[in-house]
Amino acid sequence: MGLVVLLLIIGVPIAELYVFVQMSHAVGFFASLAVLAAVSVVGGWIVRRQGLRVWRRFNEQVRQGSVPSNEIVDGALLLLAGALLLTPGFITDALGILLLLPPVRLAVRAFVNRRARRRRIATATYSGPLPRSGPFSPHGVIDVGSDDRD
């Protein structure tokens, strides 16, 4: 896991820089900057709109007494989409835009729910002994004094 994070920290900026240089050669430096700025502004506006919609659905589920698990995952995915859109770069913008599409979010949410359900089942099937309550272990206290040292 640590290696994956390290590769992402190093690889994503290098890939973003490469794509930005290629776009700058194709359409010009200032046009590339303008596209990045426009995507950030429009993406932020879309994230806000969809986020408010998810917030309303979340509150509706809570009022009905249901657990708003889908809305929580949707909110987290929209938060990730917003972070990706605000991160400068064409690759992160493309990933952020993908997360704004409801069918993509639905597929990611289904994946997240499957993983969570599998983890929940794995942790719910533990049947070992429960720890005893209280400040001391059942074996008592072992006092090591200065006389016991060699």
Rg (CA), the chain: 25
For the cut 60, the answer to whether the pLDDT of residue 51 exceeds it is yes
**Predicted pLDDT at 118:** 80
**Predicted pLDDT at 122:** 54
Task: Confirm if 50 and 100 have CB atoms less than 8 A apart.
Answer: yes
**Averaged pLDDT of the chain:** 85
- pLDDT tens string 21-50: 999 999 999 999 999 999 999 998 999 999
Question: Would you list the DSSP string of 80-110?
Answer: HHHHHHHSSSHHHHHHHHHHHSHHHHHHHHH
- pLDDT tens string 52-65: 999 999 999 999 99
Torsion angle of C-alpha atoms 98, 102, 105, 107, degrees rounded to 10 = -110
- pLDDT tens string 78-98: 999 999 999 989 999 999 999
pLDDT (average), residues 14-23: 96
For the cut 60, the answer to whether the pLDDT of residue 8 exceeds it is yes
**Percent of the residues in the chain that have a pLDDT greater than 70, as a whole number:** 79
